[in-house]
Chain A
């Protein structure tokens, strides 16, 4: 499932 609004990328 989608991890909500966890922007760990650049």
Chain B
């Protein structure tokens, strides 16, 4: 554990808390992509099945349980409790275009051809692109509420901080995991456009609005 990873994890935690609070306080999930949230739930389920096979630390276990539980809580809020506020007309990204390539890639490019390892690899590749339905939704409606922007910023920062963590680990532990690194870089790059808008608009008090 180093400061970059801890900051990354905290950023991830913050993103989820922001999202849940937004939905809970406003009693609405408008502007949030249910498809991205389904992909995140699938990501954490596939990756954290090792909860029962691989003990790392109490911190690790608590965080994994939190990520799995909150991803399903989000889905419950979106698809059941506040279903009437879910903006499904704008949430139309075809997730099979992500799931199919990610599954094939996980079967071909992995560290070891075993069930748990392929699930882990699948989750790493899927997480890298899971935000695309959300970004697609923002581009389709041309805007995002400030609170949604803060959520996206915290979520994007998390993998960026992990990249610093991987650089740190490479120099201090000689540890590196190419699959995680490449997928993490792809994941972060997908947020670049959004980061630019966040700094130039949202932080100056303006709403995130895309040029028509």
State yes or no: do A and B come from one complex. Answer: yes
Interface residues of A (CB under 8 A from B): 1-5, 7-10
- For the complex, what is the distance from the CA of A4 to the CA of B117, rounded to whole Å? 11
* Inter-chain contact B117/A10, CB cutoff 8 Å: no
Do most interface residues of chain B lie in helix, strand or loop, or is the interface mixed? helix
Interface size on B, residues (CB 8 A): 23
Given A1-B174, A2-B175, A7:B54 Cβ within 8 A: yes
Q: Does B5 interact with chain A (Cβ within 8 Å)?
A: yes
* Inter-chain contact A9/B162, CB cutoff 8 Å: yes
Interface residues of B (CB under 8 A from A): 5, 9, 12, 47, 50, 54, 56, 60, 63-64, 67, 111-112, 117, 120, 162, 165, 174-178, 180
Residue of A nearest to B54 (CB): A7
* Inter-chain contact A3/B175, CB cutoff 8 Å: yes
**Residue of B67, B120, B177 with highest tally of chain A CB at under 10 A:** B177
